[in-house]
Structure 1
Amino acid sequence: MASILPASNRSMRPDRNTYDGKSFVHVKNPYLDTMDEDILYHLDLGTKTHNLPEMFGDVKFVCVGGSPNRMKAFALFMHKELGPVEGGEDIEDICAGTDRYCMFKTGPVLCISHGMGVPSISIMLHELIKLLHHARCCDVTMIRMGTSGGIGIAPGSVVITDTAVDSFFKPQFEQVILDNVVTRSTELDKELAEELFNCSKKIPNFPALIGHTMCTYDFYEGQGRLDGALCSFSRENKLDYLTRAYKAGVRNIEMESTVFAAMCRLCGLKAAVVCVTLLDRLHGDQINLSHDVLAEYQQRPQLLISNFIKKKLGLCDIS
């Protein structure tokens, strides 16, 4: 049986990332210093081919989400909200040389797609965190935005995650490294969650709450759906499980939050997860919304995060 190793919050080398009152991005890999070049393959960037400090050194907010189209839409929205910037009305996909992820930058805001599920976002986060480190970014806030299935709350509600939990409702992320199971904490920044929640109160007709988010490795059986190609449990089993999740504080389900929380926490990044719910899983498994309603729901996390960023930049007064 593989041993279970506790997650370490200590760096593998002396911390040279925080000084002069600024919080720089930690990297927990002593081998990076020995590399002549670091190729961020899935982002189509590298330390020798690109001037990363010049390109990204001013980044203060990183917003990530699964869909490339939604992340481009959010980047265009921020492009307009932040006022006149160079580049005109359109923005360029920095990762256009790869078909894995898309990346857009507007002022101090970096927007990146991460695909669906833990493996996809994990790969992106490794290279993104190294990018922020090589660019010498400081005081960076990371926010994942997305869609999710709600538990016991109305569709359209925006859940601001306080803690990401696994399928056993535990605040941890388990990863097999070599032949060991490593567990890492998935607590998110409580003050950041409260700031986002307070921002939501200033938006008219904007249902929002703070709660636990459950992260699963699968969209169908892993989330207790009855409508997949396989189903090995009864309707009663499903409702019992989701009811227990609700009692444990879970208010929505998605597929990326645990690894996002764990990696950001270990690398010294303030992080938040903001997801809108598209249905109440206690009442069904399939999303049955009109195109217009779905589009409006999907824009809710974008609106909240945009207001939060503008407030932090002093561009609007929603205190």
Structure 2
Amino acid sequence: MAPGISNDKKTEDEQSSKENFIHLCNPHLEKMEEDILYHFALGTGTHDFPALFGDVKHGMGIPSISIMLHELIKLLHHAKCSNVTVIRIGTSGGIGLEPGSVVITRQSVDATFKPQFEQVILGKTVIRSTDLDEQLAKELMQCSKEINQFNTVIGNTMCTLDFYEGQGRLDGAICLYTEEEKLRYLKEAFDSGVRNIEMESSVFAAMCNLSGVKAAVVCVTLLNRLKGDQISSSHDILVEYQQRPQRLVGYFIKKRLGKV
């Protein structure tokens, strides 16, 4: 025992410390064998959380890609580029698809399945179209058929403002709905044409539309959200999955340049 600290004082401090712990409003977490914090690259099964402390800053989702696009579009303008095609590639959660499937986005829809991006500008709500270039999507689909290496579909992509509650997940710090409600929502999304979920496509489509840039979104699915929220594939398999959009878009570029 440290000098000058009584047992009573120590017990009081421990009690105070416990009272200051973060409270998680999600009963589902207690049932999980491991909780993976994907964007921190940490997991309760592989890392000693109490022993770790750090400042981690992320760039993801609508705010980050919006900032990047504003400056990229200005760069393209100042460079006097013409006939520009921009393709977003990345990962996503699938709905009704096996992991590793690639989704070419037909329309980006919001969390109510509407093909629109809603933004508040000067205190007023502005709604912008999120349609993507139909011919470009078909061209990418044809490229996938030609390389014939993985399952590829054209479908709607749901773009959310958040990775956890906004996507109906059960593994966030807060979750005040049931698994049955989650599944009902995801099935409604599937029935509306949604095949994957991510967090960038809506503002990407809206800004490219306004700027006259042909655009497409190509994302691989890392899991089927109808079967769970946690990724179960091994690291090596996930690395291979993440290369699929790159291979497809790489083939598309070579074909456009007459290299295949």
Give me the TM-score of the superposition, normalised by structure 1. 0.63
> What's 2:76 paired with?
132
After superposition, what is the alpha-carbon deviation per residue over 1:117-147, rounded to whole angstroms, capped at 9, x for unaligned? 0000000000000000011000000000000
User: For 1:142 and 1:125, how far apart are their aligned partners in 2?
Assistant: 10
2:169 maps to 1:225: yes
Q: Is 1:202 the counterpart of 2:146 in the alignment?
A: yes
What secondary structure sits across from 2:147 in the alignment?
coil
Q: What letter matches 1:124 in structure 2?
A: M
Structure 2: 5+ residue stretches without partners: 1-38, 40-56
Deviation at 1:232, TM superposition (A): 1.3
Paired residue secondary structure (1:201): helix
1:168 equivalent in structure 2:
112
CA distance in 2, matches of 1:232, 1:265: 37
2:231 alignment counterpart: 287
Determine whether 1:116 maps to 2:60.
Answer: yes
The CA deviation string for residues 234-256 of structure 1, in whole angstroms up to 9 with x for no partner, is 11110010000000000000000
Counterpart of 1:173 in 2: which secondary structure?
strand
Q: Distance in 1 between matches of 2:120 and 2:232?
A: 37
- 1:240 pairs, out of 184, 192, 215, with 184
Pairing 1:275–2:219 present: yes
Provide the C-alpha distance between the structure 1 equivalents of 2:236 and 2:181, rounded to a whole number of angstroms.
34
Counterpart Cα distance in 1 of 2:198 and 2:113: 13
The letter of the residue matching 1:145 is: I
Report the CA distance between 1:202 and its aligned residue. Answer: 1.2
Q: Residue 205 of structure 1: CA displacement?
A: 3.0
Give 1:244's aligned amino acid. Answer: E
Letter in 2 for 1:174: E
- Residue 303 in structure 1 maps to residue 247 in structure 2: yes
Q: 1:115/1:202 Cα in 2 relative to 1: closer, same or farther (>3 Å)?
A: farther
Amino acid in the other structure paired with 1:115:
G
1:315 aligns with 2:259: yes
Choose from 246, 249, 261 the match for 2:193.
Answer: 249
Q: What is the distance in 2 between the residues matched to 1:203 and 1:307? A: 8
Tell me how far apart the structure 1 counterparts of residues 162 and 232 of structure 2 sit (CA, whole Å): 20
Percent identity between the aligned chains?
70
Q: 2:124 aligns with which of 180, 192, 199?
A: 180
CA distance in 2: counterparts of 1:161 and 1:307, whole angstroms: 18
Count of aligned pairs: 205
Shift of 1:204: 3.0
Within 2, Cα distance between the matches of 1:311 and 1:205?
Answer: 16
Structure 2 residue aligned with 1:30: none
Q: Which amino acid aligns with 1:296?
A: E
Q: Which has the higher helix share?
A: 2
Deviations 1:270-313 (A, max 9, x none): 00000000000000001111111000000000000000000001
Structure 2 residue 89 is matched with structure 1 residue 145: yes
Post-superposition offset of 1:148: 0.2
Q: Determine the C-alpha separation between the residues in 2 that align with 1:279 and 1:254.
A: 12
Which 4+ residue blocks in structure 1 deviate beyond 3 angstroms?
A: none
Between the aligned partners of 1:220 and 1:200, the Cα distance in structure 2 is 31
Q: Which of 1 and 2 has greater Rg?
A: 2
- Distance between the aligned counterparts of 2:200 and 2:237, measured in 1? 24
Please give the secondary structure, in 1, of the residue aligned with 2:232: coil
Distance 1:159 1:204 in 2: 14
**Mapping of residues 83-102 of structure 1, within 5 Å:** none
The CA deviation string for residues 69-93 of structure 1, in whole angstroms up to 9 with x for no partner, is xxxxxxxxxxxxxxxxxxxxxxxxx
- Measured in 1, the distance between the counterparts of 2:223 and 2:111 equals 19
Give, in whole Å, the separation in 1 of the partners of 2:254 and 2:130.
Answer: 27
The CA deviation at 1:115 is: 3.4
- Aligned equivalents of 1:205, 1:145: Cα separation in 2: 17
In 1, distance between residues paired with 2:198 and 2:258?
32
